[in-house]
Amino acid sequence: MAASVAVGDVVEDFELLDETGTPRRLDGDLLATGPVVLFFYPAALTSGCTIESCRFRDLAESFAEVKATPVGISRDAVPRQKRFADTYALGFPLLSDPDGVVARRLGARRSYAVGPFLTRRMTFVIDTDRRVLEVINNEAGMQIHADRSLEVLRARQP
């Protein structure tokens, strides 16, 4: 059974390769400039995941205003993540979690596949202290993840 991270929990540091093959750490790397919106998606280059990722891309200026960085994560291999990022000019890191280690740790990995998909569509808004500000678990609302993340981050602003 996958662990489940809730609002207020501290996310354990992790390291995964991004779409360029560069190792990226949550602590000290991704969180260095502000909060991270870590969104899990089932599979790169599929219709729902493209809609979701492009919504984050289209709201890049709004995320920059709250000093937050969207970070996509799926089981896809680095070359597929690169193709996804390049095809849609996403402009934010896409992390490869091929064994679902991070997904399992946060509760975004299913114990069974839904079709070919083991990863749940879930988003974690993570503050600079690695504390979870919000968990968005919505499999069907592709645009809800980016929109709700922004609401939470704007409410956090002084």
Token duo for residue 5:
């991270």
Centroid of chain to Cα 153: 15
Token duo for residue 65:
């205003």
Catalytic residue among 16, 49, 126, 146: 49
**What's the half-sphere exposure (Cβ side, CA atoms, 13 Å) at 111?**
4
Does residue 54 have an active-site annotation? no
H/E segment holding residue 104:
helix 101-106
CB 102 within 8 A of CB 126: no
Residues belonging to the active site: 49
